[in-house]
Structure 1
Amino acid sequence: MNVCHVTSVHPPLDVRIFHKECRTLAHAGHDVTLLAQAEWREKVVDGIRIIGLPMITKHYQRPRVWRCIAQKVSKLKPEIVHFHDPELLLVIPFLRPAKLIYDCQEATPETVLVRRWIPRLLRNPVSQLVAFLEPRLARWTDAIVVTEDGHVDRFRKGGKPVVLLYNYPLLSHLDFRRQSDGKTIIHVGVLSEARGSTTMIEAMNWVVRRVPAAKLLLVGPFDSPADELEVRQLIAAHNLESAVEVVGWVPFTDLPKWLAKADVGLVPWQTKEKLPPQIIPTKMFEYMASRLPVVASSRSTIRRFMDNLNCGLLVEPGDSQGLADAITYLLTHPGEARAMGARGRSAVEEAYNWETEGSKLVALYRQLA
């Protein structure tokens, strides 16, 4: 079947869109094309045709990308269009007559409340507008894919199939031999105050006093220039330049190399007021798949897994001293840390992996066909 994945926001090699969904569908025998903002006009990667959309830098330029999407979909004439951004609900009429799948990857109304680029006074009214419009516009699709349990009820009233595909890791991608030194902590993913970037730096100020050789790897992009400035100033203020390495964004294919160096994985998310409460952190499962013990905030979506699996330690959101204590305990009790890591890997092998979730995506396409 000729299918087209579309994103107006995400990069062309986005982990969920390209490496998980598109490659799963291609492996199942579908002819897959991906439209995404890119510097190139067209290329083929792993058998998937990627067509570049205009690169933009300002939010007000997005309608230009929407227009280009409509034109390219009209020329491609796919049987299914699978789109990944809520703003594309506005161009549904221009994506027909293909069958349409809306892939909702986040709690959009709640996410609006923490977007720094939206003026603070506008965040509440915009969030309310999105909460009203998103499920109503989604009724005009043929199916909806969501990443978390909390999203299901928002869309189910529309009467269209709602498929829950957790963003679990690819098992094969994270099966490697550890090369750690016993003193390395890692955080993978976007860095922001809401995700605990400053809490980690404050915690490291305590950790290095008890484990002088400890080192924190920050692997991932900053959410904003303000977040980066805040982190770098805090590192300098505590003289932690030798204890904290700001690695930045790395390609998906390089992630195992960094995880292999680590001994502990961090998920120091803040309170639900600062980050939508429904979010399930993908990085938690990536650490588990990498046989790393996890130190995470005691949020409900994290506790529901950690309490049962005994694969790490929980701390209160924003508690830098508690985070430091948990990190120090695992670095100084390597036997327990290895046992927690092994339990995490077993859980991912048994249930929390993309290979299982991908089969549900293939079944949805079969149903729509």
Structure 2
Amino acid sequence: MNGSNRAPDDRPVVFMATTQQPYHPRHYHLMAVGLHRAGVPARMVAQPDHAEHPPGPVPVVFVEVSPGRLARFLSAPRVIRAALALRPRVVHVTSLDLLPWAVLLRTFARVPVLYDSNEDYPADILLKEWLPRPARTVLSRVVGRVEPWCAARLDAVTLADEGTAANFAGIGTPLIVIYNFPWLEMLGGADADDVEPEFDVSYHGSLPQLYLDPLLATARILHDRGVPARWCLVARDYRDEERSALEERIRRAGLLDRMTLRYNQPFTEMPGLLRASRLGFIPLPDRPKFHRNLPRKLFEYLAAGRPAVVSDLPPIRRLVGDAGCCVLVRPGDPVESADALQELLTAPNRAREMGERGRRLVADRLNAEREVGPYVDLVRRLGAGVRNGG
């Protein structure tokens, strides 16, 4: 049978995770949806999370929840069995927990395996507040060696930015950077600016202490100045006990009446939530991780046509420092952050112009339509049998 008469390969690309993030903004809404739009079947295998999600174009196979980090690591065989039952043409591993297992999977199942390093994990471990400080240092060093060693034995590595790619320099495995840019359909149109926003400042994503401390300090300064800023915090992956702790912390700061809290919102609702606010705020600390990684929420503010006050760190400065769509402030300086937010809130025309520049930046360059093409090509080559190392 010649190639033109060959039946199309309907085996899916299977994304595997041990985390409770089946609809991850990157793995599901960017990568898996990108494959689906290119006509490549995709499936997701993961634990269910805490949100109610509308049906998406990529089917999800849910595995039993494994609470706790050790249980999550040990759940890998169950996740792998669920993935192999789908007869994958390619497996894309999206959890660091699964990386050692991925080497075994590629060796014994003889299926192409990719690994996604979503962030600088060795630097990220140094920020983990639940770990004793000495343990963070040791674990960071271990991951810094094991991650590239395992990745060198796989078929390709995908990365969210050039900074993380430096962790894998010289391993011989193909590397491809796929930035977390939004789809063009997430762009806020001109009509969105005609609606009076419900909030003045928003923040969305995880809220560890390193982010929450400068955010509350900034909000308190504005409050003390008599600036009646209305805040919306959209907290991701929050359980009931975490909600109570967050609300108690905000109450102690005397800001509960200024803050609207939303929990575990589906990613598909984020464009509307961001357009319901005048400004975004991204108070990243000056730590090694943020000298390499870019916050995905920055691109989402740009797509929504909302200017953001963002920590002035090297990756952010290189990307948008001269674009006129954000105000960069000194990391860890709540007074400078409050000054920038107050200035934009009292200059709505300037804020609107900055938001429009950000929207145009996404429309012209920083969009998923331009970003996912090389990834789709890579997956097709691997599915056709072009493997790393022959």
- Return the TM-score normalized by structure 1: 0.91
- Residue 148 of structure 1 is matched in structure 2 by 161
The residue identity in structure 1 corresponding to 2:277 is A
Contact 1:309 1:343 in 2 (8 A): yes
1:99 is the counterpart of 2:112 = yes
The gaps in structure 2 that reach 5 residues or longer are 1-8, 385-390
Match of 1:186 in 2: 202
- Whether contact under 8 Å (2:73, 2:97) holds in the other structure is no
For residues 18-72 of structure 1, what are the alpha-carbon distances to aligned partners after superposition, in whole Å with 9 as ceiling and x for unaligned?
A: 1111111112112212111138xxx994442311112011112124421112322
Letter in 2 for 1:145: T
Where does the alignment leave 5 or more consecutive residues of structure 1 unmatched?
none
How far is the alpha carbon of 1:210 from its aligned partner?
A: 4.4
- 2:314 and 2:136 map into 1 onto residues whose CA distance is 25
CA contact (8 A) 1:191 1:227 kept: no
Matching residue's letter, 1:148: D
Residue 290 of structure 1, CA deviation: 0.8
1:267 aligns with one of 272, 277, 282: 282
- Per the TM alignment, residue 10 of structure 1 is displaced from its structure 2 partner at its CA by 4.4
1:206-248 alpha-carbon deviations (Å, 9 max, x no partner): 2234454321111123789998677544532343222122222
CA contact (8 A) 1:53 1:65 kept: no
Equivalent residue of 1:33, what SS? strand
Counterpart-to-counterpart distance in 2, 1:55 and 1:366? 32
Letter aligned with residue 89 of structure 1 = L
**In structure 2, which of residues 338, 362, 373 is the aligned counterpart of residue 324 of structure 1?**
338
Identity, in percent, stands at 27
Alignment partners' CA distance in 1, 2:118 and 2:277: 28
More divergent stretch after superposition (199-208 vs 69-78): 69-78
Aligned to 2:304: 290
**Residue number in structure 2 paired with 1:34:** 44
**Partner of 2:387 in structure 1?**
none
What residue number does 2:58 align with?
Answer: 48
Equivalent residue, structure 2, for 1:256: 271
Match of 2:229 in 1: 214
After superposition, the Cα gap between the structure-2 partners of 1:190 and 1:63, relative to the gap in structure 1 and judged at 3 Å, is closer
1:303 counterpart (317, 324, 334): 317
- Which of 175, 178, 201 lines up with 1:165 in the alignment? 178
CA drift of 1:129 comes to 0.9
- Give 1:310 deviation, angstroms: 1.1
- The structural deviation recorded for 1:169 is 1.6
Q: Which amino acid letter does the alignment assign opposite residue 105 of structure 2?
A: F
SS of match in other structure, 2:322: helix
Alpha-carbon displacement from aligned partner over 1:102-146 (angstroms, at most 9, x marks no partner): 111011111111122333221111111111111011111111101
Farther-moved stretch of structure 1 (304-313 vs 342-351) = 304-313
Kindly tell me: are residues 224 and 315 of structure 1, through their superposed partners in 2, closer, same or farther at Cα, counting changes over 3 Å?
farther
Secondary structure of residue in 2 paired with 1:30: coil
Q: In the comparison of the two structures, how many residue pairs are matched?
A: 365
- For residues 310-339 of structure 1, the C-alpha deviation after alignment (integer angstroms, 9 at most, x for no partner) is 112111111111111100000001111111
Q: How does 1:316-355 map to 2 (within 5 A)?
A: 316-355=330-369
Amino acid at match of 1:248: Y
Deviation larger for 237-246 or 17-26: 237-246
What corresponds to 1:362 in structure 2? 376
- Match 1:201 to one of 204, 211, 216: 216
1:70 aligns with 2:83: no
Deviation at 1:79, TM superposition (A): 1.4
| 1:81 equivalent in alignment to 2:91 | yes
Structure 2 contact 187–305 (Cα < 8 Å) conserved:
no
What letter matches 2:267 in structure 1? F
Q: In 1, Cα distance between the equivalents of 2:369 and 2:291?
A: 26
Q: Give the alignment's Cα RMSD to 1 decimal.
A: 2.5
Partner of 2:388: none
Tell me the TM-score normalised to structure 2 length: 0.86
- Change beyond 3 A, Cα 1:115–1:50: same
Q: What letter corresponds to residue 203 of structure 2 in structure 1? A: H
